[in-house]
Structure 1
Amino acid sequence: MFSKDLINNSCYKLMIYLGFCDLHTSIYIGIYAGYISITGNVYCHWPKFAFWMGCGNGFAWKMQSTAIILLAFNRCIEAFDDYWSNLLFNGKKVYIWMFIPFLWGSHDLIWGPPGLYSPILSLLSYNPHVGYIENPTHIYIDTVVLPHNIAVAALIFLIYGIFGVLVYAKTRNFEGVGKHTKVFGQILFISLFLFMICIGYLIPLFIPLPTWLNPSMQYTFLLLDGQPAIIYLTLNSNMRDRALGLFGIKFKNKVKMFTITSKTASTTDNIIKRI
């Protein structure tokens, strides 16, 4: 990812940015939540630390999920319009775009409320005393996370759906069907996993679940959160070959010939290279 020929591409800069956000979220749900599940430390044991950990988790989630939408938009623009790609993302302009998810995520650091992991119920809750003090008036609630998650789930499907249709429309007249099929598979799976995370994030907040099911929700979140890396390494040959190259495994470049018309040659070549 940090090789010179990749890092100059705005898409890869956004992927690295997204990776750091993703790692932050996984550390909270995995390491921190696992630790307090073992020790049994609730909010009252360390209120200040738990408060800022909860705010940090909300910050990372909102920044990560917003960055995914930004990456989807970037991939569509880069694949189909050089002019707008250069105008919007060329050079240091991409860092301005990166500031938008950071600014939106900062909402949780400034105003909160923190999403706190409860070792009693093994779930994320905005009620710091969940499990031993009820919250009948719902004073502990994040009014932003519901519309945010719905918007993310809808936008990611919309953007990647348009992307998949455009790829198919631009490439159906030549023999490279396998290429755009793999690309559509990547975006379909990533969209599905993100949608499941968004919905899974909301279900325990509004629907009472059996206590035994809560740990399964956390395991599922961790599995889904790590799926994009597996998808890219299995379906994206460029990333897979580079990753294996780190372990000394090299592959010869394979050149596949396509029969295309002169009218669609430049457009098709651009699409395949950028994807």
Structure 2
Amino acid sequence: MNNIIAYGSVEGIPLYNCSDHSSEEWSELGGKQWPILGACQLAYGIMIDILYFPILSIIFEKENFKISCFKIMWFLGIIDFLITYVNSILTGWLAMEGAVYCTHPNVIYISGMIVCALWCTSCMTALLLVTNRLLGMTKPALAVQLFDGRKTYIAMIFPFLYFIYFLFTAPLIFNSKYMAWFYEPMIYPERSAEYFNHSHTANNFLIVTLTCIVYTPFRWVIGTNLRHVKSDQSSNLQNTKTQVFLQSTLICAANQVCAVIYVVMNLTTVPNWIIMFAHFTWQFIHGAPVFIYLALNKMIREKFLEKMNVMGSKAGRETSSAMTIVKSGNSPTN
């Protein structure tokens, strides 16, 4: 980021200088147009972000936002929303263009810098969320001490500082040939090692390890609690615990797969289908919560449907009123 300020353009940074060719030449040398796949990714991203709006508003409602896990879920949802804009909407447009770094250097560099920081922040926030749930089930008194009320905001400072730190590390760079974001802009292949983002790599492996460590007791606690729940008296409690378990597991399992593949594909040559699979998994990670919340969280699903009905009814009333006005205006006068 400091380099951008100093040079006024990312092309002024030596390792990111595109002066050897024109943007059209760079696209022909290293890019590939994906008109259909790019359009599908763009449409997917728009759909996810549209659906996220009412879900985030539901989580943000006063009665829900009092609960610490909802504060963390809302923060994680904002991150998902922003990442989806880059890894699906912007990526779809770049894929249709057949873009490489040197065709849109400023857009790709700045977007890659932000999305790299957001991804690492989402990893930290997801870990914070599962820690919150685990303590809430096993050590409620400690959970209150750490997360009760505004204390949740203090805990969320750590992911925010994590974001600030990663803004100053090497960005992710999009390449349409592989339909993915890499450390390397593929300008100087002989200097590829100089682009390697060690912090991002450490984050990915650390998060995978810590998530596995935290999830082992979490799953055990869920299973133990469910065995002791009497279905005839506490079916609602059992459903709630099952929903929390499934939501957290589905969201974090994909994180683990994507984190490992993205590091491996930046360390060594892998088949293109694996690279594309990693990118689609990354898109799934930040889009899946929308469907998980709607499918498994009864409260969010019911309020979401209420909002959709209200919006539909309002749109219907506005259309009806507009038609009445038009008919009234076109009626003959005596």
* TM norm. shorter chain > 0.5: yes
In structure 2, the partner of 1:15 is 73
Give the distance between the partners of 2:77 and 2:161, measured in 1 at CA.
17
Alpha carbons of structure 1 residues 203 and 17: separation in structure 2 relative to 1, 3 Å: same
1:99 Cα shift?
1.5
In structure 1, the partner of 2:330 is none
Give the distance between the partners of 2:300 and 2:192, measured in 1 at CA.
50
Give the distance between the partners of 1:62 and 1:235, measured in 2 at CA.
26
| 8 Å CA contact 1:62, 1:104 repeated in 2 | yes
| 8 Å CA contact 1:123, 1:204 repeated in 2 | no
Aligned-pair identity in percent equals 24
Alpha carbons of structure 1 residues 82 and 4: separation in structure 2 relative to 1, 3 Å: same
1:240 to 2:298 alignment: no
After superposition, the C-alpha distances for 1:174-233 in whole angstroms (9 at most, x for unaligned) are 323853444433333223222122123223212323345544442332123322232232
Q: 1:76 aligns with which of 134, 142, 163?
A: 134
In structure 2, the partner of 1:184 is 245
> RMSD in angstroms over aligned alpha carbons?
2.3
Q: Report 1:256-267 matches (<5 A).
A: none
Q: Report 1:1-275 matches (<5 A).
A: 1-110=59-168, 112-128=169-185, 130=186, 133-135=188-190, 138-176=193-231, 179=239, 180-211=241-272, 214-248=275-309
1:68 Cα shift?
0.4
Alpha carbons of structure 1 residues 160 and 239: separation in structure 2 relative to 1, 3 Å: farther
Residue type of the partner of 2:122? Q
Give the distance between the partners of 1:137 and 1:243, measured in 2 at CA.
47
1:61 Cα shift?
0.5
5+ residue gaps, structure 2, are 1-58, 311-334
1:34 Cα shift?
1.6
1:58 Cα shift?
0.8
Residue type of the partner of 1:40? G
5+ residue gaps, structure 1, are 250-275
Give the distance between the partners of 1:236 and 1:107, measured in 2 at CA.
34
Residue type of the partner of 2:207? V
After superposition, the C-alpha distances for 1:131-164 in whole angstroms (9 at most, x for unaligned) are x641455111001122211111122232232122
1:168 Cα shift?
2.4
Residue type of the partner of 2:64? L
Alpha carbons of structure 1 residues 33 and 127: separation in structure 2 relative to 1, 3 Å: same
Alpha carbons of structure 1 residues 182 and 36: separation in structure 2 relative to 1, 3 Å: closer
| 8 Å CA contact 1:11, 1:74 repeated in 2 | yes
Instruction: Count residues with an aligned counterpart.
Output: 246
Give the distance between the partners of 1:88 and 1:28, measured in 2 at CA.
33
